[in-house]
Each structure stands twice: as C-alpha cells, then as structure tokens.
Amino acid sequence: MDVEGVAIDLLSRNGANVDEPCEASTSGNATSSTLEHCATLGEPINGMEFESKEAAHYFYREYARSVGFGITIKASRRSKRSGKFIDVKIACSRFGTKRESTAAIVNPRSCPKTGCKAGLHMKRKEDEKWVIVSFVKEHNHEISPDDYYASVRGKNKPPAGASAHQKKGLQLALEEDDFKLMLERFAEMQSKQPGFFYAVDFDSEKRIRNVFWLDVKAKQDYYSFSDVVLFDTFYVRSGYRVPFAPFVGVNHHRRYALLGCALIGEESESAYSWLFRTWRKAVGRGQAPGVMITDQDKVLSDVVAEVFPTARHCFSLWSVVSKVPEMVNPLDDGFTECFRDCVDGAWTDEQFERSWSEMVGKFELNENEWLHSLFRDRKKWVPRYFHGLSFAGLSGVERSGSVVSHFDKYMNSEATFSDFFELYMKFLQYRYDVEAKDDLDSQSKEPTLRSSLAFEKQLSLIYTDAAFKKFQTEVLGVVSCQLQKEREDETTAIFRVEDFEKRRNFFVSVKKEVLDVCCSCYLFEYQGFLCKHAMLVLQNSDVSCVPSQYILKRWSKKGNNREEKHAAVDNRMSRFDDLCKRFVKLGEVASLSDEAYKTALQFLEKNLKRCVRLNNSSKFPSEPGLENEGTLDCASKLSRKKKTQKKRKAYNGPEDVTNGSEELRQEPEQVSSRAPTFENCYIPQAADMEATELGSRAAPLGMYYSTQQTIGFSSVSSVQDGYYYGHPATIQAMGNLHSVHGRMNQYETQPSIQGASAECILVPGGFGDRGVSGMVLAAKYARENKVPYLGICLGMQIAVIEFARSVLGLERANSTEFDAQTPDPVVIFMPEGSRTHMGSTMRLGSRRTHLESRDSLTSKLYGDVCYVDERHRHRYEVNPEVSRVLEEAGLRLVGKDDTGKRIEVIELHDHPFYVGVQFHPEFKSRPTRPSPLFLGKSLFSFQN
C-alpha cells in the first residue's frame, strides 16, 4: 500500500493544503467545488486522482466502512506489455445474482447477492496515477455494517444459536476442507523435502489458532540473511481472507527471501510467543536475528524482547506512517508534512527532540497518547538512531517501494486458501528459478564500469550483479553533487552536500581516524549501500576505497555462502541434518545446468550404493540404539566378526570411486593404535568440498584418501589413530606431518606457530579469508626454520604474501581476495584466464607450466623435465608486476604459463624444500603413483 499517498489523500479530503501532486484534482465532469465538497464528506466522485491503486482502494474501503457496506474486487486487467494493473472495478459485496439450488442451505450468506450495482471503476493514467472514471453510489438493499466486516474477514457470521461452537481464530479463515488441503500440501512438501517443518497451534478449546511452516531453502537462507528480518503482518491487519504472515529477509541479489511462513488466527501475546519460539526452533541454529522489524505494536515488542533478547527490535517505518490518519484525528493542515520533516530532517538527537516538541505543540497534540508512545520508542523507528544498522531495503517510508512489496502481487485479499496456496507454490518456483539465474549472471558476467571512481571498480569485484547496479547508480550520482565544509574539529568533519538531482541539501559527518561516515539521507541505513554524498566526502578526503564496514557481506557474491562451523556429528540425527544442509547447496549449484544436474545425479546414485555397502559392512561400529530403529542390524554381525577378524596394517585392495572424468582406486582402512609403522595421516584438500573437523582421537566414518575429502585439524598436533591409505612406503616417509587448513582459525588468536617439532608443513588450496593469518605464520615458520614446505594453489599465494611482508617489508601486502583495498596487492584476480568469481569450483582443466630452469628442485622431482602438465582450479594468481621485486629478494620464479607472465611455481634459495605451485598435483596423484611433489616433500621431511 502506498502509505504516503494514502496519508496525503486523507489530508486533501480534510481540506489540507499539501504540495504533493497526489491530492484530488479535477478531470472529466468534476468541478473544483464539487471535489472539495466530496473530499469533506469522504465520498468518491468521477475524476478524483490517487498516487497508486492501493491508495484508491484504501480510500474506497474507508468510505465503505463509514457508510456500512462490504466491497470486493469485481474485475481487474493488466497491461499485456508491462504486466502492471491498468484497470480495476470494485463492487458492493452484494453484486451479482443468487444461484438457484435445490439443496438445503445449512449456513446461508450473511450478505446475500441482490444484484447491487453500487461500485467504483478506476483506471491508471500514463503518468502512473489512478483516476476514478465511474462511481455508482446507490444500493438496492438495506445498508448493514455486518456486510463490511464479513467482506473484510472473507467469511460469514455464524448462524444464530451456534455460540457453543462459535468459530474463532483461523477457523474464521479456514474451512474444514481448507485445513485438510493444507495438511495434504504439507505432507506432499515433506515427502519431497525431508527437512520440511510445520506446526499447528491450538487454543484451550482445541481450535486452530496459528499455523507455521518452513521449507529447507528458507532454513538455509536464514543462516545467510538473518542479519535483518521483517515479520510482516500487513496481510493480517489489512483484512485479507487468508491471514498470511511471513518472516521476510533479503538475499544477496536484493530479492525477497521467505525465512518462514505463518497463518495468524489470534494476535495475542501467547499466540505470538508460540509462533516466534516455533520459528526459532525450526531454523535450529541457535542464532537470533540481528535486527527484527515488526509493526508498531506493544504485544510484538514484548514477545520479541522475550524470545530474541539479543536482537535489535525496530518498527517498520511505513507501519508508523500509515497509522497517522487513524491515530491523529482529525488531521490538521500540514501535520503529515511536518511529521515527515521531523523524522527525515533530524541530524542529531537534540534536533529531533526539539523538532518533535515543536510539532506536538504547534498542532496542540500534547494529549495524544499514540504520539507520546512513538516518542518513547523513538530509537525503534527514527532513522537518526539507526547509525551502524542496515535494513537492506526491508523498511522505508513506503511499502510499495520496498523489497517486501514483491510478494504483494501474489496476494489477493479475496483469494481462498486453495488459491493462496497455488500462488504460494508459484512464488516458490519463481524464487528458485530467479535466484539460479541471478547466481549465474553474477558468476559469469563481467560488470561494466561507467566511471573513473575507484569505488566502482573496487565493489565490481565483490558485489553481485544486482547489488553492484544499485551501488553504481550512487557512484554515477556523485557528479551531481557539490561539497562544502561546514565545520571541523580534531576528530570530526561535517560537510554540506548540495544534491542537484534531489534539489535539497544533505549533511555528512566523518570521524577521521576510523572513517565512520553518516549521511542525513540514511541510504546505508535504509538500503545497505554507501550513498553518493558520503562517497563525495570520502573522495574529497583522499580516500580511494569504500571502508570495509560499509561493504556488507550480504551483497557479495559469497553472500549466500553457508560455510559454518558445524556441530559434532556424533549421532544419526546430527549426521542427517548436516547432510541435508550440504545437499541443499549441491541442489542449488547442480540445478544451474542440465550437465551439472546429470553429473550430480550420477555421483549420488553411485555413492548411494557405496554407502549401503558400507552400512552393511562389518568394519564400522554400530551407533548405540541404531539397531532399534529397524534400519540396520549391524551390532550382532560386528560382535561375531570381532572374534575372528585380524587387525589389518596394510592396504587392502582397490575400489572404484568416480571423481569427474578420472577414476580413483582407494579403500578406507582403519589402523590399530598399536600399529608400529606410523601415527599420522594427511588427506589432500579439494577446496570446493566441505571440511570434516577432527576434534578427538576417534576418526570419522567413511573417510578415504581422495581429492574429494578435506580434513581440518582442531589443533596443530599430530592426528593419531586415523585411517591410512595408499602406498606404504610413501606413508612411512611422511613422518610427523602437520596441516594448516583454510577453515581453521586457531593461528589467528595466537602470537606464534605451535608444534615446533613439525617435520614438514603443507598448506593446501582453498578460498575465502578464514585462517589466512594462521597459514601465513605457518609459511613464515617453515621458511625461517628450514622446515620442508609445500604450498598448493592458495598455499603458494600464502608463501608469496608472507615473503612480501617479512622479506620485502610490505606489511600490508595481501591478496585482493582478502583485502580489496590493500596498497600492495601481490596476489590479484586474473580475469583473462578466470572469467568467474565462483570460488574454487572454477575448473580450468589441465594446463602446461614451463619450468625455466632445469636445475630447479621441481624440475628434478619430475625427472629433469622442462615442462609439466597439471590441472588448475583457481581464479587468483601472483601479481606479474611484482615478479622482478620478488626475484631480486631471493624468491625463485621457476615456473610460468605459456605467456611467460603468469607465475605457476616458486622456490626459495638456500632452503632444503620450499616449493609453491599454482596447480593441483593431488588431482593426478594416485595411491600407487603419487605426485613427485608429494614424494619429494615426504623424502625431505624424512631426511630433515
């Protein structure tokens, strides 16, 4: 609903002189005096104009309520070209004729059809405004206020004498058949999505009070986008027939995201408390929303404070503005305009409080309790108090201009439950399709830069396509602004920015040391993007990059990255929940193309059979209580086989495991703690797979040597009692191996590397900035202590970053993946070879690396060759512009690509084994034919 338009329309009907163009104007057969008279009476007339369809509908609905008749949308028409509404007919709820029927009517209509012709016809003009083209006032029946309330609720009053079984709550909205249909739909969704959740709330008399449901995608989206959530009761409080109340978020493409759904039959504290607690339980992550937005309502305030005590509770601004006509009655001339100026124009706390006091005194509203409550709760709805927060487009002055209004086109106030659910399912399908397309666009499209500002280039590498386009409009608007410094002290500078596009002045304050920026347009607070006014001030202050606190992760290409520290998966339910989360991500990625879908399907079908074989095997201990579930009965088999089975200490034989186009032949084998040959194992990392954390001496089930499994060590000590695989001689040579994993953060909180007895260090591939400082410390430790070091992909880049910081003295040297505004980018994105920002799933295939010196260690390991062909999977590489400086400082750049520019292999002078490779040698490594680099690392580790 266009709240601002409604408020101004109501002002105009009460004789207010407003400057907005949405006040009633003359057209057709309406004269100024006639319109003025009708505005006073609140009665429609031909030629009245409104800012939106919603404003016109609201006006006629209020007119119907004042007169005492019900209304319904009789017909509507959309433009074939744009799909927008262009024509709407609203009729009295008694329009039409009564159907003839021989069946007895148990519950007759409370407002029977009489063929009433009363109604209103409106059309959209070329300037987007709506005009009344026809209005019929007279009714052919007696006016009954019950008609209005029956039309609002969408149901008839119960028959007389039925008070003992009077309908209440959701029974007013749902018939018995509707409830049956709902349960059937839920059962169907649960069969398709094992993680689908729903719950039904009953009152003390066993009547349906509330219903809640949550699909798997909503549960996953909650983890990514729960920084700000809106509980939207608009459809409930606007009298929609189906009282739908969604929990709404915004995804990284600035699109509507459903985070939970409810049907509300009772707006009591206990009902809302049940709903919020059920939602919290359903998402199951122990994580409260960062910001929780609701209507201005004391009951909701109390429930949010009780259920989510750590969340910042705010009121949606349009819910506050929309109540002005109702709560400030009668409206005085100019009040709405003064109210808006007070809210939007406040630059300091003192300024808002002074403006509010002046407004209340000017219009003699000191006794208005609603305004007093608004002032008490000012920190929940006035933008001035939201500095540092961002609503991501979920709250604003007008609902029609927000992300939330996207679902409005799927809702119809007169829709039955069956119609509603059909539209809901269409929306879900639309959401899946659009998000898949948005992801593909962001991963494959190179953004077009349209200015010379460094801000634009910086965020073009970070934001999704939709988020970047929104930010780009602000970048392009910088040229339409003019700056003037107002005042300055030691810590803060305040500027006045004249915006020629908006024809008004804005004020921007900057705290110099921390680059804390605040603009009176509140774009960052409303939308989550730095505004053009703030960018102009930063540019004038010689700041060339957007400060990190104003680059929200939610808008990044990794905004829906659901990597997280998983809880221990030590029982069947936790394993099931963990797998469901991972398969949702697999479904999202694999559904983008037919080829990816077929590949995923093939992989699942093959490995499902393998899992069945593992479950029926006697190698693995049964989980206590599992046999009681009737799914597996392994305990008795295990107890029998333990008597005769000997401890195995060697490789037991191959089994085929498909990995893309290549075959791996491996078999897991458990090692006794008494095995004399070695204590530790390392499993190579493929960075595109999730990590399995080892938090205890017990090894996880189903682990095998392959490029598809990742282990993150919970400490920098050796892993004992693990599994071992592959060539025995290679494993024995591994010694006391340590791994530094990109998902782990233990080094980041420690001043120095642990485990001084490390015999070799391997930093594998990966992406993202988790654990980077720990990896840099590991590389430094290996370089300074002559410990054999092998860096693969990211591991090579880590070695270069550490070398640049420690040897070259470039303290802020970094990769632009981790720090987009680093002054010394030694690792950069290479778009000419990697045209996507899709993390480690960027498969570049087998490529040739030319070894420029045969006396290099890498060349000798591969057999004195001048080139190697290995598989690449990356998007960032060492910056070619720093090659000469690195070499002069002692870092050998021994391998390059076909162009001779891109660095593929590095080595270090005067070090027994310090090698970094951009390619992935583990992809072609086999248990009986290990990569020369792994053999070399193990050999030097053994000799060291």
Q: What is the pLDDT of residues 881-892, one digit of tens each?
A: 999 889 988 899
Alpha-helical runs (H) found in 712-837? 728-732, 772-784, 794-806
Query: Among residues of the chain, what percentage have pLDDT more than 90?
Result: 25
Top-ranked range on mean pLDDT: pick from 90-104, 256-270, 853-867: 256-270
- Write down the residue that tokens 């000191």 correspond to: 366
CA angle 240, 242, 246 (to 5 degrees): 95
Amino acid 286: pLDDT: 61
CA distance 594 to 599: 9
CA distance 754 to 740: 11
Instruction: Please tell me what DSSP assigns to residue 567.
Output: P
Of 393-402, 687-696, 783-792, the least confident: 687-696
Residue 561 — very low, low, confident or very high, per pLDDT cuts 50/70/90?
low
| 3-class DSSP assignment, residue 155 | coil
| pLDDT above 70 for 738 | no
> Which one-letter amino acid corresponds to residue 93?
S
Amino acid 879: pLDDT: 92
Considering only residues 157 and 704, tell me which one the structure prediction assigns the higher pLDDT: 157
> 600: number of CA atoms within 13 Å, CB side?
16
Top-ranked range on mean pLDDT: pick from 132-141, 599-608, 738-747: 132-141
Amino acid 716: pLDDT: 28
* Burial category of 775 from C-beta neighbours within 10 Å (exposed 0-12, middle 13-18, buried 19 and up): buried
Backbone angles phi, psi at 760, to 5 degrees: -165, 160
Give tens-digit pLDDT for 294-339.
Answer: 998 899 999 999 999 999 999 988 888 888 877 886 667 778 888 8
| pLDDT above 50 for 7 | no
Contacts of 778 (CB under 8 A, 6+ apart): 738, 740, 747, 753, 761, 763, 798
Amino acid 753: pLDDT: 52
Contacts of 205 (CB under 8 A, 6+ apart): 168
Q: Which whole number is the average pLDDT over 436-440?
A: 83
Of 82-86, 142-146, 177-181, 662-666, the least confident: 662-666
Amino acid 171: pLDDT: 59
Cβ-defined contacts of 542-545 (< 8 Å, 24+): 543/515, 544/454, 544/455, 544/821, 545/454, 545/455, 545/458, 545/820, 545/821
Q: Are 158 and 134 in contact (CB under 8 A)?
A: no
Of 431-435, 858-862, 916-920, 939-943, the least confident: 939-943
Amino acid 750: pLDDT: 37
Amino acid 599: pLDDT: 87
- Write down the residue that tokens 């991972």 correspond to: 582
Name the nearest CA neighbour of 782 among 800, 799, 801, 767: 799
Amino acid 206: pLDDT: 74
Q: Which whole number is the average pLDDT over 672-690?
A: 30
Angle between helices 572-590 and 594-615 (to 10 degrees): 160
Amino acid 400: pLDDT: 64
Q: Which whole number is the average pLDDT over 418-431?
A: 87
Amino acid 721: pLDDT: 27
| pLDDT above 90 for 826 | yes
Buried/exposed code over 901-931 (b: 16+ C-beta within 10 A; e: otherwise): ebbbbbbbeebebbbbbbbbbbbbbebeebb
| pLDDT above 50 for 94 | yes
Considering only residues 724 and 106, tell me which one the structure prediction assigns the higher pLDDT: 106
Give tens-digit pLDDT for 479-510.
Answer: 999 999 998 888 899 999 999 998 989 999 99
| pLDDT above 90 for 133 | yes
Amino acid 798: pLDDT: 95
Q: Which whole number is the average pLDDT over 26-45?
A: 48
| pLDDT above 70 for 190 | yes
Instruction: Please tell me what DSSP assigns to residue 20.
Output: S
Amino acid 1: pLDDT: 38
| pLDDT above 70 for 711 | no
Amino acid 330: pLDDT: 60
**Average predicted confidence (pLDDT) for the chain:** 74
Amino acid 941: pLDDT: 62
| Helices and strands in the chain, H and E counts | 28, 31
Contacts of 491 (CB under 8 A, 6+ apart): 511, 512, 513
Query: What pTM value is reported for the model?
Result: 0.49
Q: Which whole number is the average pLDDT over 827-835?
A: 69
Name the nearest CA neighbour of 291 among 406, 377, 405, 388: 388
| pLDDT above 70 for 912 | yes
Tokens of 624: 């206590």
